[in-house]
Amino acid sequence: MLKKNILNFTLAAWEKAVEEIKLPRFRATQVWDWIYNKRVFTFADMSNISLATKEELEKHFCIDLPLIDDKNVASSADGSQKFLLTTTDGAVIESMVMYANDRVTICLSSMVGCPLRCAFCATGTEIGFVRMLDACEIIGQLFAVEKYLKNKVTSIVFMGMGEPLLNLANTKIVLENLLSPNACAYSRNAITLSTAGIAPVIAPLINKYRIRLAVSLHFPTDAQRSQYMPVNCTHGLKELFTALKQVKLEGNDYITIEYIMLKDINDSLDHARALVKICSHIKVKFNLIPYNKIASFEGEPSSQKTIDAFTAFLLAKGFRVSMRHSRGTDISGGCGQFALKKDTHTIIDD
């Protein structure tokens, strides 16, 4: 019998599953507490559960995490770490951990590879799409990395391999469990989801969970965005910005607009002007991202002088602007660089 991974359940679904095997509901709460409050992932170590109950649970369920091998943890000069994790079927996924002040942030993958094929991204162009990750494999990255580091992760970004809004059912289960006071109990401000622009599901999802939203925009016109980000051919800028206007922002909330700076492609003041125009009716903050070179794309990073001029233009128009310090570029862990390099070997070929 194929065992079900408990990390694929919300608490309500887990209670139902426990009742279906004729165990009392309080057993579900006990196991849940071991997993989410004590971070214990083996039934054998759950000391308040009888041997007979453990055996019954073992017959039907598992709590497998993706595996981390010491050899597949790379540390960057800037302190960030890249983890290659292996799932139970042998697929390999990447997670990054970044440190800033007291914050420990993990960047989670939602797929093995990605079908969206953004031209400047190694995941989309060098790996392509392999498969969706189950909820247990997404939240499992967090638990496996915390276990490895013996440290708690304080914030979570869905910015690794894959488009989380194309893996919607599993992303929702993970968000439920990250936010639930009965599970991980993260604050909504500790979680950021980044999307390339799957317009129809953005507002319903963000308005339901009230987490932070980042949009990988990168190009301010349909012609250019469709050229470099094929998702724009399906969900163009008009549809995307109509969706963004439907996102309910509270208090100081804003939408982060991610913009990768590509020399002579999207970094002129005309581009900045076009960007201001399309973003002018939404509360946004711009996050300018230095381009990390990948083999499959011929673009070059913008010069610092160009980035400074672009930034100054946006600031003068009254927008908030931050410059992302790309982490882990020396270990291929920067934005767009995730391509499953294990030592010198490529694990998944095209």
Candidate segments 67-75, 89-97, 117-125, 204-212, binder of ligand SF4 by CB under 6 A: 117-125
- CB of 203 within 8 A of CB of 243? yes
Q: Which of 108, 144, 196, 339 binds ligand SF4 (CB under 6 A)?
A: 196
Structure tokens at 236: 């163009």
CB atoms within 10 A of CB 69: 11
Of 205, 171, 184, the closest CA to residue 11 belongs to 184
Candidate segments 28-36, 69-77, 113-121, 319-327, binder of ligand SF4 by CB under 6 A: 113-121
CB of 225 to ligand SF4, least distance (A): 12
Q: Which of 35, 57, 93, 114 binds ligand SF4 (CB under 6 A)?
A: 114
CB of 164 to ligand SF4, least distance (A): 9
With left for phi above 0 and alpha for psi between -120 and 50, is residue 264 left, alpha or beta?
left
Q: Which of 4, 54, 117, 172 binds ligand SF4 (CB under 6 A)?
A: 117
Q: Give the position of tokens 């708690």.
A: 152
Print burial letters for 117-148: b (CB count within 10 Å at least 16), e (below 16): bbbbbbbbbbbebbebbbbbbbbbbbbbbbeb
Structure tokens at 256: 């982060």
121 binds ligand SF4 (CB under 6 A): yes
**CB closer to ligand SF4, 179 vs 255:** 255
Active site residue 298: no
Q: Which residue is nearest to ligand SF4 (CB)?
A: 124
Active site residue 176: no
CB of 265 to ligand SF4, least distance (A): 15
CA–CA separation, 328 and 178 (whole Å): 25
124 binds ligand SF4 (CB under 6 A): yes
- CB of 195 within 8 A of CB of 202? yes
DSSP 8-state class, residue 343 = T
Structure tokens at 193: 């989801």
Q: Which of 65, 84, 118, 237 binds ligand SF4 (CB under 6 A)?
A: 118
Catalytic residue among 62, 136, 279, 335: 335
CB of 129 to ligand SF4, least distance (A): 9
Q: Which of 56, 126, 163, 176 binds ligand SF4 (CB under 6 A)?
A: 163
How many angstroms from the chain centroid is the CA of residue 115? Answer: 15
Catalytic residue among 94, 137, 163, 258: 94
- CB of 326 within 8 A of CB of 333? no
**CB closer to ligand SF4, 124 vs 299:** 124
333 binds ligand SF4 (CB under 6 A): no
CB atoms within 10 A of CB 237: 19
Residues that bind ligand SF4 (CB under 6 A): 114, 116-118, 121, 123-124, 161-163, 196, 216, 336
Catalytic residues: 94, 335
